[in-house]
Structure 1
Amino acid sequence: MFRVNPRVQGVNPKLIDLYQKVDPSTIGHMTDFGFLKGLQPLARPIRFVGNAVTVRIPHMDSTAVHKALDLVEPGDVVIVDMSGDTQRSCWGGMVSYAAKAKNVAGVIISGCINDVPEILELNLPIFSLGISPLTTRILGIEGEINTTISVCGVSINPGDLIVASDDGVFVINPKDAEEYARSAIEKQEAEVETKRQVDAGVSLASLSGAAKFFN
């Protein structure tokens, strides 16, 4: 059985612009939630920010992945929940070609990928758990598009904001995103002055507050 819901535009241009200036690791100083731990980029440097289009498939059937590419719009991030299968690849050269043609911002796979040279040639930003020659097939069994999925223990809804960089991937509900972004930008800007003081010989421990634990 297939379930295909309409695409959700949860992310607005203002958030995209704000998060162009924010790294997931800066958010990591503020919360433990929303990080897709364990995923690795196929290549670095990597950075993308976009609107989540979610896909869930059973371990062997990638029919829904192909259908999802009919629904994506420029700037979307395709996120595939492989239902716990970490051995197979559901994403290779042809789907990468189609995704690139639709101008997606990036791709996140909670399983493996294949056709590495083709993906690298396309310069498609992609995170996954690894690489495998064992692939899924078009079987028409079942799948879901634009439903709530789980990737690396994090629930992801269609229309969520996805922020990815060399340090990893962060997911957040758009309604909560602006507050985190402004705090992160403030923290990043403050680091300029901190570095200036370190250059002047001031102890990092004293600046960070770590020194108080050693008095």
Structure 2
Amino acid sequence: MFDNELKKRLLTTDPAQIGHFIEGGYMSPEIKPLFKEAKIAGPAYTVRAIGDDSTIVYYAMERAPKGSVIVIDRGGDKTFSCCGEIVALLAKEMGMEAIVVDGPATDSVAIGKMNFPVFASGLSPVTTRHVGLTGEINIPINCGGTVVNPGDIVFGDADGVIVINPELLEDLIEKAEKADKNEEEWIKAFKSGKIMSDFINITRLIENDTQGYINELKKV
């Protein structure tokens, strides 16, 4: 279960640190927050919203638990924005953690001012309508080139977004926490004149021992 303690621990590290330990589950680098200070962590509530009809997004937010990240699969559409000022404001007031959309957003200045995290692949002045003819919720979707299942943990900041299976979360947090401590020591050491070869035998790994290189990386 993704409780407040796990969320707090996750937010003390970064997606880029978790990224050292995963081989999949990362969204396309083009999906970025509308303002750089955004940092999010929460369970996915998934939406498939196709074309210029975004009614399903409101339908989803009225059913998603508080703290959810609304993750929207746009079916490849890169023209119509299904998330602007009104959608973001409503999500904020309803207690959502963030919105992540595999497509453009709009009203970027207003969203930045309200300080609500919206991640998108770009911006567009062309918006969707309220028709209610298409869409699905709470199903496996594709967002940013990766599968997102309902309840997966969505972790994002200015560097991008990763998606974590809840069963793997605590182990990944522990690895990231250990790596954060290692980096603190490395930073101090590098500022004092040391180099990476003082910690890892770089020459041996590169020139002589490929398997050793792999084993050393697993220890870092």
Same fold (TM over 0.5): yes
Q: Quote how far apart the aligned CAs of 1:32 are.
A: 2.8
Contact conserved, 1:11 with 1:159, CA < 8 A, in 2?
Answer: no
Q: What is the RMSD computed on CA atoms of the aligned residues?
A: 1.6
User: C-alpha distance in 2, partners of 1:165/1:205?
Assistant: 31
Identity rate, percent: 32
The reply to whether residue 43 of structure 1 matches residue 28 of structure 2 is: no
Is structure 2 residue 140 aligned with structure 1 residue 119? no
Secondary structure in 1 aligned to 2:36? coil
Q: Distance in 2 between matches of 1:131 and 1:82?
A: 14
Within 1, Cα distance between the matches of 2:63 and 2:34? 24
Deviation of 1:210 (Å): 3.2
Task: Name the TM-score, length of structure 2 as normaliser.
Answer: 0.87
TM-score normalised over the length of structure 1: 0.89
Higher strand share: 1
CA contact (8 A) 2:32 2:159 kept: no
Q: Deviations over 1:18-72 (max 9, x none)?
A: 2122211112212231111220211111211111111101112111001112123
Can you give the 5+ residue segments of structure 1 that lack an aligned partner in the other structure? 1-9
Match of 2:21 in 1: 30
Bigger proportion of residues as helix: 2
- Aligned position for 2:191: 199
Provide the secondary structure at the position in 1 that maps to 2:147.
strand
**Cα distance in structure 1, aligned partners of 2:187 and 2:144:** 34
How many residues end up aligned between the 2 structures?
206
1:164 has 2:156 as partner: yes
Is 1:153 matched with 2:149? Answer: no
Residue number among 154, 165, 179 corresponding to 1:173 in the alignment: 165
Question: Deviations 1:117-157 (Å, cap 9, x if unpaired)?
Answer: 22122111111011101111112212111111101221101
Deviation at 1:187, TM superposition (A): 0.5
Query: CA–CA distance in 2 between the matches of 1:79 and 1:86?
Result: 16
Structure 2 residue runs of 5 or longer lacking an equivalent are: 209-220
Call closer, same or farther: CA 1:199–1:118 in 2, change over 3 Å.
closer
In the alignment, which of 80, 105, 110 is matched to residue 97 of structure 2? 105
Alpha-carbon separation, structure 2, partners of 1:120 and 1:168 = 17
Deviation at 1:208, TM superposition (A): 4.5
Which has the bigger relative contact order, CA under 8 A and spacing at least 6?
1
SS of corresponding position for 1:71: coil
Q: 1:90 aligns with which of 74, 79, 82?
A: 82
Question: Which amino acid letter does the alignment assign opposite residue 141 of structure 1?
Answer: L
Q: Does 1:71 align with 2:63?
A: yes
